[in-house]
Amino acid sequence: MDLGLKGRVAIVTGSSQGIGKAIALGLAQEGVRVSICARNEKQLNETAKEIRLATGVEVFTVPTDLTKEDDLRRLVANTAEAFGRIDILVNNTGGPPSATFLETSEDQ
């Protein structure tokens, strides 16, 4: 399928495994350069290697704890520096307990 995304840049958070990994791989299969992040650097690097081998697309890794604002700022800054821009954000995380947006506090 061609979604017209080739050449775009995406950040996919929580992307070393599970849904985040599948989304990053799917975007890479569309020709999207992806920046992936997770806390486990070893797993993150293994995932990046898998995506590169499967798609030939450039994959950038940033070890990130999504609960730390400084890590998030570093993720965005490093991705923008590496790729020159950011077009897509997939905000994936195991996250807080289920709640609506308005019921969720900034700390959660």
Q: How confident is the model at residue 97 (pLDDT cuts 50, 70, 90)?
A: low
pLDDT digits (tens, 9 = 90+) for 40-92: 999 999 999 999 999 999 999 999 999 999 999 999 999 999 999 999 999 99
Both tokens assigned to 99: 């709640």
Q: How confident is the model at residue 105 (pLDDT cuts 50, 70, 90)?
A: confident
pLDDT digits (tens, 9 = 90+) for 10-26: 999 999 998 999 999 99
- Report CA-CA distances (Å) from 69 to 22, 37, 65, 80: 25, 14, 9, 17
What is the secondary structure of 19-80 as a DSSP string? HHHHHHHHHHHTT-EEEEEES-HHHHHHHHHHHHHHH---EEEEE--TT-HHHHHHHHHHHH
pLDDT for res 49: 98
CATH number of 9-90: 3.40.50.720
Domain residue extents for the chain: 9-90
**24 Ramachandran zone, left/alpha/beta (phi>0; psi -120 to 50):** alpha
